């Protein structure tokens, strides 16, 4: 956790140190909506802005990141014009573009466009070792943090609960803590279960598995098989054994992808330069956070993206023979 806080502060300092000119002098100023500062989205956005800002004297674009509540908040802010680029889980990109779930009726975003995807995000269920919980179904009757409203984590939890026919009343207690608050609550014995939809390794999961011997439990079974079959933006994924203290075997769970999106009226040149900054410097980008280390750039063009590619992104990928 301390590492992520230091990383977030460092990234912010680098972004502003690298951007000494006013927006009028540099031309276009863009903001990326990310997530909490201790998660992966914030440093991911910061890493991208760092690369964009390196070329600001050439393309005139300045980039900054904004800490937000997560995927759902980001998509709403994007729709309202409060940010220019958003990070969103692939399932919520799908729902926003197709007008389903939270984005039904007037909330549909047919003007949503994909830029690229990043890492996989396993739905991660971490429990106190003394809780008696061995499987996902065992969390019923326990004290569960279901996530803060507006986060992709909460929306995914709501979706799975609804699919399984669970209600909040099925838990001994259901809290709505933000991702950054869960670790302390678990180790202080205020909750039995914390959930994440995040890339791994994850600082908060490392903290609780080391500090208070928490363990990760699988999310699988016939009902989850059926959920994946009916909702193809989900897929089974694995949290590798040995990555965390107390978890020696691979943990099977469901997962989504982290994706970057914008609206169709975002200038083509702005998106082109953002995508170019990332993919022209991909080896460097992969070193900026542990979850990026195994990324394959070719797979990021389509995996997890259901909205059409933005013309600026498509232009870059065609130039590089990736499309």
Q: What is the domain partition of the chain in residue ranges?
A: 2-119+258-319, 122-256
Residue 27: the pLDDT is 62
User: Which CATH entry fits the domain spanning 2-119+258-319: 3.80.30.20, 3.50.30.40, 3.40.640.10, 3.40.190.10?
Assistant: 3.40.190.10
Residue 69: the pLDDT is 87
Same-fold call for 2-119+258-319 versus 122-256: yes
The partner residues of 31 in beta bridges, in order of sequence, read 64
- Domain 122-256 CATH superfamily: Periplasmic binding protein-like II (3.40.190.10)
Tell me the pLDDT tens digit for each residue of 159-184: 999 999 999 999 999 999 998 899 99
pTM: 0.76
Tell me the pLDDT tens digit for each residue of 211-254: 998 999 999 999 999 998 888 788 888 899 999 998 899 999 99
- Phi/psi region, residue 129 (left: phi>0; alpha: psi -120 to 50; beta: rest), is alpha
- Beta-carbon contacts of residue 252 (< 8 Å; ≥ 6 apart): 218, 219, 220, 236, 237, 238
Residue 24: the pLDDT is 33
d(Cα 144, Cα 128) in Å, to the nearest integer? Answer: 11
Tell me the pLDDT band of 3, cut-offs 50, 70 and 90: very low
Instruction: Evaluate if residue 113 carries a pLDDT over 90.
Output: yes
């Amino acid at each position: 956790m301390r590492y992520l806080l230091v990383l977030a502060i460092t990234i912010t300092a680098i972004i502003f140190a690298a951007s000494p000119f006013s927006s009028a002098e540099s031309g276009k100023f863009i903001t990326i909506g990310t997530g909490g500062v201790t998660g992966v989205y914030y440093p991911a956005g910061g890493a991208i802005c760092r690369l964009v800002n390196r070329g600001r004297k050439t393309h005139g674009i300045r980039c900054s990141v904004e800490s937000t509540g997560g995927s759902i908040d980001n998509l709403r802010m994007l729709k309202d014009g409060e940010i220019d680029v958003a990070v969103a889980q692939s399932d919520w990109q799908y729902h926003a573009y197709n007008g389903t779930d939270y984005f039904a009726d007037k909330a549909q975003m047919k003007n949503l466009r994909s830029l690229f995807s990043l890492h996989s995000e396993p739905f991660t269920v971490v429990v106190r070792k003394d809780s008696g919980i061995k499987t996902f179904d065992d969390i019923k009757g326990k004290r569960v943090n279901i996530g803060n409203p507006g986060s992709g984590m909460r929306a995914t939890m709501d979706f799975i609960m609804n699919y399984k026919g669970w209600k909040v009343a099925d838990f001994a207690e259901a809290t709505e803590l933000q991702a950054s608050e869960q670790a302390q609550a678990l180790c202080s014995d205020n909750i039995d279960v914390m959930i994440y939809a995040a890339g791994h390794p994850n600082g908060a999961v490392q903290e609780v598995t080391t500090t208070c011997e928490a363990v990760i439990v699988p999310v699988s079974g016939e009902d989850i098989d059926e959920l994946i079959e009916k909702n193809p933006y989900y897929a089974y994924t694995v949290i590798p054994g040995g990555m965390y203290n107390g978890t020696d075997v691979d943990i099977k769970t469901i997962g989504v992808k982290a994706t970057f999106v914008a609206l169709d009226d975002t200038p083509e040149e702005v998106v082109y330069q953002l995508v170019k900054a990332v993919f022209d410097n991909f080896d460097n980008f992969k070193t900026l956070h542990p979850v990026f280390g195994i990324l394959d750039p070719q797979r990021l063009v389509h995996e997890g993206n259901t909205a059409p590619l933005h013309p600026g992104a498509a232009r870059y990928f065609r130039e590089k023979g990736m499309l």
